[in-house]
Structure 1
Amino acid sequence: MLFDLRKTQAGQLLQQLKHLFRGARGVEKFLRAIQPDLIMLPEDNVETLSTIFVAKGRRLNIPSMVIPFTIPNPLEPARYYYDNPMYQARGAVARRLVHRHPKWRFNHEGRDLLRQPAIKASCQEFLGLSSPAPWVLNRGSAVSIALDSDAQRDLYIKLGFPVEQLKVIGDLNGAMFHHVRSHKQRFVEEICSKYGWQSDRPLILCGFPPISIKARIQADLNFPTMMHSSRPGWRASECSPHGRIP
Structure 2
Amino acid sequence: MNEGSARREVALVTGANRGIGRGVAEQLAALGMTVVIGARDPLRGEKAAAAVRATGGDAHAVTLDVTDRTTVQEAAKRIEERFGRLDVLVNNAGISGSGQVSPQDAHDQVPSSVDLDMVRAVFETNVLGVIAVTNTMLPLLRRSPAPRVVNVSSHAASLTLTSDPDGPFTALPPSAAYAPSKSALSALTVQYANELRSDGILVNAVAPGFVDTDGNNHTGILTVDQGAATVVRLATLSTDGPTGGFLAAEGPVPW
TM tier relative to shorter chain: under 0.3
The structure with more helix, counted as a fraction of residues: 2
Larger radius of gyration: 1
Query: Which has a greater percent of strand?
Result: 2
TM-score by length of 1: 0.25
